[in-house]
Structure 1
Amino acid sequence: MKYSEEVANKLNELLEKNYDAEKGYKFAAEKVKNPQLQSFFNERAKERYDFGHELKTEIRNFGEAPEKGSSWTGDAHRAWMNLKTSFSSDKEEAVLEEAIRGEKAAVEEYNEVLKDTSLPPSTGNVLMKQRDAISSSLNKVKAMENWEDNK
C-alpha cells in the first residue's frame, strides 16, 4: 500500500468517527430538555461537521477519496444510547456519560494517528487543532456532568 493510501485510510477512519460524532451530538441534543445542553450538543455537532470538511480536504490532498457515511458501530452506539436513555431516570446524566466516553475515545484515536511522525506538517496541524478542540469539549462535558451530579 502506498504511503498516501495509508495516511488517507487513517484520515478516513477519523472522518467516519466525526460523521458518527456529528450524528451522535444531534441525537443527544434531541434527548435532553436542558436548553444549555441542547445548545452545547448542537455546537459540537456543527464542530464535527466542520472537522469532516477539513479532513475531506486533507484526504483529497493525498489523491484519495473521502468516505461517504457513518460506521455501523456508530449506528449501534446511537441505538444503545437511545435504549439507555429510555430506561434512565436522568436522561441528561446518561447522555453526558456517553458524550464523555465518545470524546475520550476520539482523543485517543487522534493521538494514535498523530504518532505517525511522517505526516506532513499541514495534516499534523489540522489533526492537532481538531484533537485539542475535542479535548476542550471533553473538559466542558465533564464539568457539565459534575454540575448535573451536584444539582
Structure 2
Amino acid sequence: MRNKEKILKKLNDLLVTNQELENIYDEAFKTVPGESLKMFFNDRKEERRRYNEQLCLELEKLLGDAKLPKSVTNESYKVSMNFRNLIFMKDHSLIVQEVCRIKEITINKYNALLSELNLPLSLCKLLSEQRDTVQSNMNAIKRLEHLIVQDA
C-alpha cells in the first residue's frame, strides 16, 4: 500500500473513531447523573466534534474530490458496546476507567498516524495538538477520578 493510501486509511479510521466517541459521549451525557459528570461528557462530545471538523478539512486537502467511506470498525463497535454496558450498569468508577482506556486507544491511533512518513505539515501539527489535548485530558481525569465519581 502506498504511503498516501496508508495515511488516508489511518486518518479515516481516526475520523470514524472520533465520530463513534462523540456518539458515546453524547449518550453518556444524556444518561449519567451529576452535573460534573454531565459537563465532562458534554465537553468531550464537543471536543470530538471539533476534532472531526478539523480532520475532515485535512482529509479534503489530501483527497480532493474523492471520498472515503466512514464505516465503523469491529474495534470501535466493541468499545462502543462495552461503554454502553457500563453506562447501563451505572458503575461510575468503571465508566471513568473506560474513558481513560478509550483515550489510550485514541492516543495510539494518533501516534500511528503521526509515525507515517511524508505527512503534510498542517496535518502533523493538527494531529499533535489533538493527541496532546487527549493526553492532557486523560491525565486530568486520572487525577480527579475520585471527585468525578463522588459527584455522580
Q: TM-score normalised to the size of structure 1?
A: 0.85
Q: Deviations over 1:126-146 (max 9, x none)?
A: 100110111111112212314
Retained in 1: the 8 A contact 2:79–2:102?
no
Identity of aligned residues (%): 26
Residue in 2 aligned with 1:73? 75
Report the TM-score, using the length of structure 2 for normalisation. Answer: 0.84
Aligned length: 149
Query: Structure 1: which 5+ residue stretches go unaligned?
Result: none
Cα RMSD over matched residues? 2.2
Distance 1:36 1:67, change over 3 A: farther
- Offset of residue 54 of structure 1: 1.0
> How far apart, CA to CA, are the structure 2 residues paired with 1:113 and 1:10?
6
Q: Which residue of 1 aligns with 2:47?
A: 47
Which residue number corresponds to residue 85 of structure 2? 83
User: Please, which runs of 5 or more residues in structure 2 have no aligned partner?
Assistant: none
> In structure 2, what is the Cα distance between the partners aligned to 1:150 and 1:35?
11
Give the ranges of 4+ consecutive aligned residues of structure 1 lying more than 6 Å apart after TM superposition.
none
Matches within 5 A, 1:1-151: 1-63=1-63, 64-68=66-70, 70-87=72-89, 91-148=91-148
Structure having greater relative contact order (Cα 8 Å, sep ≥ 6) = 2
The DSSP-based 3-state class of the residue aligned with 1:116 is: coil
